[in-house]
Amino acid sequence: MSRVYNFSAGPAALPEEVLKQAQEEMLDWRGSGMSVMEMSHRGKEFMSIAEQAESDLRELMAIPDNYKVLFLQGGASGQFAMIPLNLRKKGVFNYLNTGSWSKKAIAEAKRYGEVNIAGATPDGEFTVPAQDSLSIDASGDYLHYTPNETIQGIEFPYIPECGDMPLIADFSSTILSRPVDVSKYGIIYAGAQKNIGPAGLTVVIIREDLIADDAGDAPTMMTYKTHAGSDSMYNTPPTYGWYLAGLVFDWLKRNGGLTAMAEVNERKAKALYQAIDQSGFYNNPVDPNCRSWMNVPFTLANAELDATFLAEAGEAGLKTLKGHRSVGGMRASIYNAMPEAGVQALIEFMADFEKRNG
């Protein structure tokens, strides 16, 4: 068996140690005689798995006690609807529009109220609006933004300031990449398939005062109160994804937590951007102040070489480097599970390819 370096944006690579542990525990989870997949979500074995995962995530992210952690389904895209449905009071929502995922969140929010675009990245630019340029509607129910735009590879270098208004963030592609001050946020949410675990699980970290007692006509399954009031067991949760997320949290703790992760992630990103910037052949269009640590898009000087680049990279064991169809070129997603050796292998391949084709 040989494993490749998988640069997929999501579902993305998982730590090999985690996969091996899951493999060892597949048929008989710790003497239970069952796979985690086969367990009742209300049985004591799964309850212990669920509680351990939550407590490890709380420890890793230093989540304050007045926040609930929810393990849901429906993806980050489901949150695009749940947020306005549950938080609307005045029905005015502030959004920052910095890329493809912001746009999708905005389109969904418009179905439930009026959206004020409090700041935006102009078309064709690769940056984020400055804090002092934001025009936040003070009557808004919240301010929503996307700290890391997975497709454009743009990342906020600052946490937007919005006073007492709840700040809501789609952390799908940057959660767990470094420490974050959770107390600055009303809600942090993320689809699991980038930096947490397998697809099918969505993690929501929500300040308790934002869990409305009455979410109007929102469907029961789309109401935070439903899930917060039942420890995410109102219906059958995605048990296997929850378990695997727990194994990832444990792996992160064993490897020094988010401070250690941040050091490695910063080194990986710096090395790759440096290789791109120093070549006359590769280009990354993003303002250096807001370059993503997790998703690195780049183009070749000659787009006719894209297919050859991808084919040869694939033969060298470097997979899933094709850029998003809306941006073109390449994209290397280098989440927590991508080892530094994988990034080094990519850099060496790129240099060699440039030598032969540049």
Ligand X SMILES: *Cc1c(COP(=O)(O)O)cnc(C)c1O
The distance of closest approach from Cβ of residue 33 to ligand X in the complex, given in angstroms and rounded to an integer, is 33
For position 76 contacting ligand X by CB under 6 A, the verdict is yes
* Cβ nearer to ligand X, comparing 160 with 281: 160
To the query of whether residue 213 is one of the catalytic residues in this protein, the response is no
Instruction: Read off the tokens for 188.
Output: 């942090």
Point out which span in 71-79, 123-131, 154-162, 258-266 binds ligand X (CB under 6 A). 71-79
Concatenated DSSP letters of 209-231:
GGS-S--TT--GGG-HHHHHTTT
Q: In what order do the strands lie in the sheet with 67-72?
A: 67-72, 202-207, 187-191, 167-170, 143-145, 92-97, 114-120
Closest CA to 124 of 288, 287, 5, 312: 287
Q: Restricting to residues 139-168, which ones interact with ligand X according to CB under 6 A? A: 146, 150
* Cβ nearer to ligand X, comparing 86 with 102: 102
Residue among 29, 56, 101, 268 flagged as catalytic: 101
Q: Restricting to residues 96-135, which ones interact with ligand X according to CB under 6 A? A: 101
What is d(CA 303, CA 281) in angstroms, rounded to the nearest whole number?
11
Question: Of the candidates 6, 173, 223, 279, which one interacts with ligand X according to CB under 6 A?
Answer: 173
Long-range contacts, stretch 279-288, CB < 8 angstroms, 24+ apart: 279/350, 279/351, 279/354, 279/358, 280/358, 281/354, 281/357, 281/358, 282/350, 282/354, 284/153, 285/126, 286/126, 286/127, 286/152, 286/153, 286/154, 287/126, 287/127, 287/128, 287/154
Burial (Cβ within 10 Å: 0-12, 13-18, ≥19) of residue 138 = exposed
3-state DSSP assignment of residue 172? coil
For position 323 contacting ligand X by CB under 6 A, the verdict is no
DSSP 104: H
* Cβ nearer to ligand X, comparing 79 with 94: 79
To the query of whether residue 194 is one of the catalytic residues in this protein, the response is yes
The distance of closest approach from Cβ of residue 286 to ligand X in the complex, given in angstroms and rounded to an integer, is 15
Residues linked to residue 96 through DSSP beta bridges, in sequence order: 119
To the query of whether residue 90 is one of the catalytic residues in this protein, the response is no
Binding pattern for the stretch 24-63 against ligand X, x by CB under 6 A and - elsewhere: ----------------------------------------
Half-sphere exposure of 28 (CA within 13 A, CB side): 4
Residue among 56, 68, 170, 268 flagged as catalytic: 170
For position 75 contacting ligand X by CB under 6 A, the verdict is yes
The distance of closest approach from Cβ of residue 154 to ligand X in the complex, given in angstroms and rounded to an integer, is 11
N-to-C CA span, the chain: 34
For position 237 contacting ligand X by CB under 6 A, the verdict is no
* Cβ nearer to ligand X, comparing 142 with 353: 142
Q: Can you give the C-alpha Rg of the chain in angstroms?
A: 21
For position 333 contacting ligand X by CB under 6 A, the verdict is no
Question: Of the candidates 113, 153, 191, 241, which one interacts with ligand X according to CB under 6 A?
Answer: 191
Question: Of the candidates 21, 35, 73, 77, which one interacts with ligand X according to CB under 6 A?
Answer: 77
For position 10 contacting ligand X by CB under 6 A, the verdict is yes
3-state DSSP assignment of residue 325? coil
Residue among 68, 194, 268, 322 flagged as catalytic: 194
* Cβ nearer to ligand X, comparing 52 with 127: 127
- Catalytic residue ranges: 101, 170, 194
Q: Which residues bind ligand X (CB under 6 A)?
A: 10, 75-77, 101, 146, 150, 170, 172-173, 191, 194
